[in-house]
Structure 1
Amino acid sequence: MNLAPAAKVRRTLLQHKRPGLDRTEPRAPRAGNLTEIITHDTDLSSMPLLMPLLAQLSRDDRWFAWVAPPALLPKTLLTDAGIDLGKVILLQPDSTHSVFDLARRALGAGTCHAVISWPGYLSEFELKALEQAAACGDSHGILIRGREQA
């Protein structure tokens, strides 16, 4: 994938608000838009039904963030599925940012229309926090987890 350096992307994605979106003004409450996909494994190449959805999500004007995918995916697999790699930001956790934290911040920033993450197990508190962040940022969150992590 043709991606910017992680530190710069993380700073840009997580610190800037979407133009025209003033967080000081109260907003009508929205339902968080979070979808969980439970699979027998988390390999995207084994989920052919998901690829058209990801391609559709990559066509929005805002970024499409992928947080901690289980492996680097072949460019050809993604482009053949119609995914616009120019709109995809890859975020990887590090010692100061967990998968949950990156997903929550990307959802809430308003700069991503969709955030797909592979978070592993999440508590009820963490799920609620992701739903709230999705509502705040007007974003779609997709969580891909294996059965043992659900």
Structure 2
Amino acid sequence: MLHISTNVNSQLKSINQYDSFNVLDADDVQSTNDMLLKVLYRCNAIAGWTLLIAPDHAVNKTMLDSYGININKLLVLKQRDLINLEHTLDRALSNGNFAAVITWPGVLSQKQIEHRSLSCSKTALYCFKGATHLPMSKLAH
């Protein structure tokens, strides 16, 4: 298992587990991948589920296991399977079962991100900006 807890806090200074809204800006595939795994690692330590809304093949079980992320607390929804993204986000943010909701780059428009920043929720929302995509692999489930 890869140990990352020693440097997570220093590399994620702009991400606070107590902030309800976080916009993440990753420059490329590798930085998006690294930041996603660090956010998942941090969220894994919080009570509650983590919801990841992502395209097909965004993460795989081996990658999550190598970072010590408990996949039993992670729910991955494929973007293509969502009928109403905004309804799904609003429900996840308001029902109290999720510690965090993470959206993939390109899942939300700038307007949707701004609208979510106005909502009051105890669930942390992490929105990646941009159109970066991870290499293809099998989903965590």
TM-score (norm 1): 0.60
> What residue identity is the alignment partner of 2:46?
D
Deviation of the 1:82 alpha carbon: 1.5
Unmatched runs of 5 consecutive residues or more in structure 2:
1-17, 133-141
Deviation of the 1:113 alpha carbon: 0.8
Match in the other structure for 1:91: 77
Post-superposition CA distance 1:126-150 (Å, at most 9, x none): 23432344x23x01000113269xx
Deviation of the 1:53 alpha carbon: 3.1
Aligned alpha-carbon RMSD (Å) = 2.9
Q: Identity of paired residues, percent?
A: 23
Q: 1:122 aligns with which of 100, 109, 112?
A: 109
Post-superposition CA distance 1:16-39 (Å, at most 9, x none): xxxxxxxxxxxxxxx972111122
Where 2:34 maps in the other structure, the secondary structure is coil
TM-score (norm 2): 0.63
Structure 1 residues 105 and 129: CA distance shift in structure 2, 3 A = farther
Does the 8 Å CA contact 1:91/1:102 hold for their aligned counterparts? no
Q: Map residues 7-86 of structure 1 onto 2, 5 A cutoff.
A: 33-41=20-28, 43=29, 47-69=33-55, 71-86=57-72
Does the 8 Å CA contact 1:107/1:130 hold for their aligned counterparts? no
Instruction: Mark the structure with the bigger radius of gyration.
Output: 1
Aligned residues: 113
> What residue identity is the alignment partner of 1:102?
T
Does the 8 Å CA contact 2:105/2:130 hold for their aligned counterparts? no
Match in the other structure for 1:139: 123
> What residue identity is the alignment partner of 1:140?
A
